[in-house]
């Protein structure tokens, strides 16, 4: 077994036996990794606290490519994210983000852009004074793009007309102009398409600076939710999203 050191975000953890803990992590150098912290829950050891969701760590672990469960060695905090963990709204969005990564990413292939997106988004939520929902939408849009499911927001796929207002096609999982799909269930306004383009092409600062009106939240968030669930089967039952809907209703 080789001792490896990498930056990581803890996605999920749970007790194992009487003294140990299992954690799923998203790492910069190894992608998604599952590991066991043997004896970390024994006594009052501080090691157990490292393997908690949303922790950003410099992680040392023993890697055996023939095993699915790697062995935790030690860790150091990279960023504590104390503001995020101390605020109900922020931590709810944080849990939704790490669950999206946990459910939406499979395999151990590293993806540095995705890791950086995850870290930058959690840091943005940690320091945000408002518009946390917009930061979450920003993450969803970039997440889709990095996984190869970037929404087409420019032209209708059927008639190639410019999308100035559109309808979401549940059959195709994309936006179609109202002339080509009259009976679509969910209309998306030209204003929402403009916002979505900012999320798609802009920075997190651009997203935070968006000026929202009543009704924007349900239309933008609704489109991204439907699009995610259509294109990524594994995220159709995200518990954190359901909790988020209740907490932030």
The CATH number of the domain holding residue 153 is 1.20.1440.120
- Which among 79, 110, 145 is the end of a domain? 79
Same domain, 148 and 38: no
Same domain, 126 and 47: no
Contact in structure between 25 and 35 (CB atoms under 8 Å)? yes
| CATH code: domain of residue 57 | 2.40.50.140
Same domain, 118 and 8: no
pLDDT value at 136 more than 80: yes
pLDDT value at 249 more than 60: no
- Which among 57, 79, 101 is the end of a domain? 79
Higher pLDDT, 157 or 8: 8
- Which among 49, 79, 109 is the end of a domain? 79
Q: Could you tell me how far CA 58 lies from the centroid of its own chain?
A: 20
Mean pLDDT of all residues in 144-159: 93
Q: Pull the structure tokens for residue 106.
A: 């499979």
Same domain, 16 and 109: no
Of 16-20, 110-114, 119-123, 183-187, the one with minimum mean pLDDT is 183-187
CA dihedral defined by 34, 39, 40, 45, rounded to 10 degrees?
Answer: -170
Condensed to tens digits (0 to 9), the pLDDT of residues 203-244 reads 999 999 999 888 888 899 989 988 998 898 887 666 776 776
Same domain, 154 and 235: yes
Same domain, 146 and 222: yes
Burial 183-208 (b: 16+ CB within 10 A, else e): ebeeebeeebbebbebbeebebeebb
Same domain, 158 and 234: yes
Return the ∠ at Cα 127 (arms to 208 and 119), rounded to 5°: 85
Collapsed DSSP state (helix, strand, coil) of residue 113: helix
Condensed to tens digits (0 to 9), the pLDDT of residues 163-207 reads 988 999 888 889 998 888 766 567 899 999 999 999 999 999 999
Order of strands, sheet of 186-188, starting from the edge strand that comes earlier in the sequence: 174-176, 166-169, 186-188
Condensed to tens digits (0 to 9), the pLDDT of residues 33-72 reads 999 999 888 766 666 689 999 999 999 999 998 999 999 9
The whole-angstrom separation of Cα 218 and Cα 113 is 28
Predicted pLDDT of residue 37:
93
Same domain, 174 and 93: yes
- What predicted TM-score, i.e. pTM, was given to this entire model? 0.92
Predicted pLDDT of residue 185:
63
Higher pLDDT, 30 or 186: 30
**Total number of domains constituting the chain:** 2
Same domain, 123 and 23: no
Mean pLDDT of all residues in 115-133: 95
Q: Pull the structure tokens for residue 7.
A: 């930056």
The whole-angstrom separation of Cα 10 and Cα 23 is 7
Same domain, 58 and 142: no
| Alpha carbon distances (Å) from 224 to 45, 51, 193, 195 | 42, 30, 11, 12
Predicted pLDDT of residue 62:
96
Q: Pull the structure tokens for residue 118.
A: 């995850």
Q: What are residue 44's phi and psi, to 5 degrees?
A: -110, 30
Same domain, 24 and 61: yes
Instruction: Specify the DSSP class assigned to residue 248.
Output: T
Full residue range of the structural domain in which residue 62 is found = 2-79
Same domain, 49 and 102: no
| Alpha carbon distances (Å) from 101 to 25, 113, 196 | 10, 13, 21
Condensed to tens digits (0 to 9), the pLDDT of residues 67-112 reads 999 999 999 999 999 999 999 999 999 999 999 999 999 877 899 9
């Amino acid at each position: 077994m080789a001792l490896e050191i990498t930056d990581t975000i803890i996605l999920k953890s749970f007790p194992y036996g009487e003294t140990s803990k299992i954690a799923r992590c998203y790492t910069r150098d190894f992608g998604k990794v599952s590991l066991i912290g043997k004896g970390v829950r024994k006594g009052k050891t501080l090691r157990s606290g490292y393997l908690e969701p949303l922790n950003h760590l410099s992680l040392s672990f023993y890697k055996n490519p023939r095993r699915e469960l790697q062995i935790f060695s030690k860790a150091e905090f990279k960023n504590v994210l104390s503001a995020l963990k101390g605020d109900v709204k922020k931590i709810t969005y944080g849990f939704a983000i790490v669950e999206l990564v946990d459910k939406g990413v499979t395999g151990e292939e590293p993806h540095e852009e995705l890791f950086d997106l995850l870290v930058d988004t959690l840091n943005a939520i940690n320091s945000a004074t408002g518009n946390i929902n917009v930061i979450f939408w920003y993450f969803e849009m970039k997440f889709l793009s990095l996984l190869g499911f970037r929404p087409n927001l420019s032209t209708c796929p059927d008639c190639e007309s410019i999308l100035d207002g559109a309808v979401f096609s549940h059959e195709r999982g994309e936006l179609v102009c109202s002339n080509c799909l009259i009976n679509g269930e969910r209309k998306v306004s030209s204003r929402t398409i403009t916002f979505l383009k900012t999320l798609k092409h802009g920075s997190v600062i651009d997203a935070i600076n968006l000026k929202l009106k009543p009704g924007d939240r349900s239309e933008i968030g609704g489109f991204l939710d439907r699009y995610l669930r259509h294109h990524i089967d594994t995220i159709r039952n995200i518990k954190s999203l359901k909790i988020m809907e209740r907490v932030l209703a």
